[in-house]
Amino acid sequence: RKEVEQDPGPFNVPEGATVAFNCTYSNSASQSFFWYRQDCRKEPKLLMSVYSSGNEDGRFTAQLNRASQYISLLIRDSKLSDSATYLCVVRGDSGNTPLVFGKGTRLSVIA
C-alpha cells in the first residue's frame, strides 16, 4: 500500500460547484498533514495545514480523521482560478522523517 493515496482525478467541474478530494495515509503515527496546490510547471505551494479539529480558510475546508487515516479537502463555489493539481502531504512520527506526497488530484474548473 502506498504511504499516501489520493483520488486520481481528473475532476472537471463547472464554476460554482462544490468539489471534494480525499486522501488516505498508511502510517498511523503520522503527525502533520497538509494540502498543497501545484499549478502547471510550477512548484507546489502550501494551501493549508490540516488540524485534528478541522479547519476552514474561506472557500476551503480541510478535515482529518485519524481513526480512518483519512484527510479531505472541500472546495466550495469553485472558481476558474482553482484549476490546479492538489497534493495531499503527510509527515511521519518524528522530526527526522520527511514529508511524503500523494500523486495529486487534478482539478479543472470549467466556465
Report how far residue 24's alpha carbon sits from residue 82's, in angstroms, rounded to the nearest whole number: 22
> Taking CB under 8 A as the rule, which mask of x and - marks residues 5-44 in contact with another protein?
---------------------------x-x-------xxx
Q: Which is nearer to another protein, 17 or 49 (CB)?
A: 49
Contact segment (CB under 8 A) with another protein among 9-17, 54-62, 72-80, 102-110 equals: 102-110
Q: Hey, which residues between 62 and 81 contact another protein (CB under 8 A)?
A: none
Report how far residue 60's alpha carbon sits from residue 42's, in angstroms, rounded to the nearest whole number: 21
Report how far residue 50's alpha carbon sits from residue 57's, in angstroms, rounded to the nearest whole number: 11
Beta bridge partners of 21: 73
Report how far residue 5's alpha carbon sits from residue 3's, in angstroms, rounded to the nearest whole number: 7
> Taking CB under 8 A as the rule, which mask of x and - marks residues 79-98 in contact with another protein?
--------x-x-----xx-x
State in angstroms the smallest separation of the CB of 76 from another protein. Answer: 23
Cell numbers for 55, please give them: 479547519
As a whole number of Å, the end-to-end CA separation of the chain is 37
Site residues, another protein (CB under 8 A): 32, 34, 42-46, 49, 87, 89, 95-96, 98-104
